Chain A
Amino acid sequence: MNQPASAYFIEDRHDPNETHTLAVLVQNEPGVLARVIGLFSGRGYNIESLTVSETEAQKHLSRITIVTTGTPMVIEQIKHQLDRMIPVYRVVDMTQTKRSIERELAMVKVRGQGEHRVEALRLADAFRARVIDATTESFVFEITGNTDKINQYIDLMRPLGLVEVSRTGVAAIGRGPEGM
């Protein structure tokens, strides 16, 4: 163990990282997103994806979906740290429930002519991506799916003239009749 001269106990931790999707139900009030993000940056947690929107306007409830990575102990910490924030109602680890559906939406702009254009359209069809804007030299595709599917689609578009991508980040919901 490397132990430099220090007033702190420095140690390496080798637990493997896991990726988890967390659904966080919060009171929609000023600063609530800053609190959540500040928690992640302040404690050195990762945010892979973050999606926020008000989901129940009358009750002022927002739902935040966060994809994060960390060792099992860190993931447990993240959930507890989120849960103890005053405006947080519930934190559900969608990955742990193993009964969740995850989707994100991406808009993908591709520029090209001739064969590339035809190929892009063909692939869009295969991925069930829709054309939502078109010019004689470009398309904007709308694609919905899990993160892997979208990554794959973007990779395929790259040699066909990929210009830019806008993604919503992951939204997740549990299967079955129960709410979170």
Chain B
Amino acid sequence: MSDKSHDPNQMTGAAMIVRALIDHGVTDIFGYPGGAVLPIYDEIFQQSEVQHILVRHEQGAGHAAEGYARSTGKPGVALVTSGPGATNMVTPLTDALMDSIPLVCISGQVPTHLIGNDAFQECDTVGITRPCTKHNWLVRDVNDLAKVLHEAFYVATSGRPGPVLVDVPKDVQFATGTYHPPRKSDVHRSYAPRVKGDATQIRKAVSLLANAKRPVIYSGGGVINSGPEATKLLRELVEVTGFPITSTLMGLGAYPASGKNWLGMLGMHGTYEANMTMHDCDVMLCVGARFDDRITGRVDAFSPGSKKIHIDIDPSSINKNIRVDVPIIGDCGNILGDILQVFKAEAKKPDVKSWWQQIAQWRARNSLYYKKSDDVILPQHAIQSLFEATRGKDTYITTEVGQHQMWAAQFYGFEEPHRWMTSGGLGTMGYGLPAAVGVQVAHPDSLVIDIAGDASVQMTMQEMSTAVQYELPIKIFILNNQYMGMVRQWQQLLHGNRLSHSYSEALPDFVKLAEAYGAVGLQVYKPADLEGAIKEMISVKRPVLFDCRVAALENCFPMIPSGKAHNEMLLPEQANDEATAKAFAAGKALV
């Protein structure tokens, strides 16, 4: 045996963590130091391969890592201390779990001998994060650390991606042990996600698709998670079949919004043509989406006459909400490839001309209509102007949660995947600003815009300070209507117009706030000034808070009222106060 002191694989736990990050190709991490992670921060200080971005709140680190992950397809990494550092990560971990985002969180823990003693800044981190991670580990022995870290990266990025957490007590960080580079045996033998789809099921699917009269492709975030090949194959499938395609909020960009078969987003605030196509179709191909309740509307009236094919890598997504006829478990890209191969070999392009004529009639209803004004900026118009001003540019969009998010999904056209970062499943207000920080770190020369609301953006506003420190020129485009717009919309529709606590009094002066942070503040009231102001925002090479004052009482349409089916959408031209009240009263009267 050689002298252990010269073995390069002998190192402290803290050094192992940094080494593992490097071995997994991590170049940027987001974190906040504290007592239980100081040995790791000491290691970070003494190297230059991994850049650490200091956030202002651990939640910001988590969302920044999510933005980083969503915009690159690589795992995002966050480093936080024990106790409050870990509890502040609960929201981003849950967010990443709901939206299948690969996230590796490393948390410090009090020394092993103090665990369970209610020590200073102690909490049961693995207990608290068990339901909000794909898997988590508490490492009690430094010689297990390398294996656990490698497994953590594998679990986060393979199968259905998701967040993982590795909790490392401080004594384990100090202790010396043996490191090894990633190897296959690091992974639980019980974990083997299925990639390849069943050939018989694929044949069944192709036969349904080839004989479809009224088909629709409904794609989701899984296509984007699967990687660039899946996106390419999805586009090819649409081309080869000539089928109409719609997508969930998470799936926007997999098929280009300018594509001729694009129906727009579906679901509660989706387009009329997308929802009607879903409702009346005879064959539905769901790729990497999960029939979530914002998508289906009333479950027992969801697309009643169709045969449904569902491709998903997670078997638990199958038959969870909607019973499907042909489930295919595996990776979207892999299965789309197989479907295409069989389809091209055995089927000819189905005749869907009359189906498209029907769709054209639905499209003619112009469900995203809104009335422009010369006096006040309509939020939809603001997004359209932003889209026009950034068209063709290398742009990434993040959002917060609420009306502005839905308008962004409706009016900003995404041409490529990984360009749209939004909190879909969890609906986390405050996601967009830190996510933009993460995206900008990953793409320093790109244009990164957070389409925000005045309420959401205040939840994580402190990360402006991070953006200024690291010279990240993110643009925070606030649709300021001085309300929690979506909350107010529901109160108007469902709670007798009693606007309980949905109005923000004492909003900050966003321009002064920007200046206080050392960023740039812009404000615009008039439609005539909008275009120029957006141009200015884009040209500024510093972080910008853009206070776009919009029509205060504008609501988000079209929408599927609660308890209604896809073919019972409320369209904007019907959405005057009286009609809206009626549509909802019909549901309420039965209570």
Contact = CB atoms under 8 A, between A and B. Distances in A.
Interface of A: 1-11, 26-27, 30-31, 34-35, 38, 42, 73, 76-77, 80-81, 83-89
Given A42-B131, A80-B315, A87-B191, 14 more contacts: A3-B587, A6-B494, A9-B297, A9-B299, A10-B563, A11-B299, A11-B300, A31-B138, A38-B130, A76-B319, A77-B316, A84-B315, A86-B134, A88-B190
Contacts, number: 85
A38 B316 contact: no
Q: Is the interface of A mostly helix, strand, loop or mixed?
A: loop
Contact of B316 (A8, A34, A35, A84): A84
B318 interface: yes
B564 to A, nearest CB: 8
B591 A5 contact: yes
A88 B562 CA distance: 38
A4 B276 CA distance: 25
A73 B323 contact: yes
A42 B131 CA distance: 8
A89 B591 CA distance: 46
A49 to B, nearest CB: 23
Given A27-B190, A81-B316, A3 B134 contact: no
Which interface residue of A5, A6, A77 has the most chain B CB atoms within 10 A? A5
B174 interface: no
Nearest to A90: B190
B155 A4 contact: no
A88 B135 CA distance: 12
Q: Is the interface on chain B under 10, 10 to 19, 20 to 34, or 35 or more residues?
A: 35 or more
Nearest to B565: A9
A86 B298 contact: no
B314 A38 contact: no
Contact of B591 (A4, A7, A34): A4
**Shortest 9 CB-CB contacts between residues of A and residues of B:** A80-B316, A5-B494, A3-B563, A86-B135, A89-B190, A3-B587, A80-B315, A86-B191, A4-B591
Contacts of B189: 27, 89
B190 A9 contact: no
A31 B188 contact: no
Contacts of A10: 562-563
Contacts of A38: 130-131
A7 B127 contact: no
A3 B591 contact: yes
Contacts of A9: 293, 296-299, 562-563
B135 A7 contact: no
Contacts of B314: 80, 84
Contacts of A89: 189-190
A10 B590 CA distance: 13
A106 B590 CA distance: 50
16 contacts: A1-B563, A1-B590, A2-B591, A5-B495, A5-B562, A9-B562, A9-B563, A27-B189, A31-B127, A42-B131, A80-B316, A83-B316, A84-B160, A86-B191, A87-B188, A89-B189
Contacts of B584: 5
Contacts of B319: 73, 76-77
Contacts of B315: 80, 83-84
B490 interface: yes
B588 A5 contact: yes
B312 to A, nearest CB: 11
A2 B300 contact: no
B126 interface: yes
A87 B130 CA distance: 13
A3 B588 contact: yes
B318 A31 contact: no
B320 interface: yes
B478 to A, nearest CB: 24
Contact of B562 (A3, A34, A73): A3
Interface in B320-345: 320, 323
Interface string B430-445: 0000000000000000
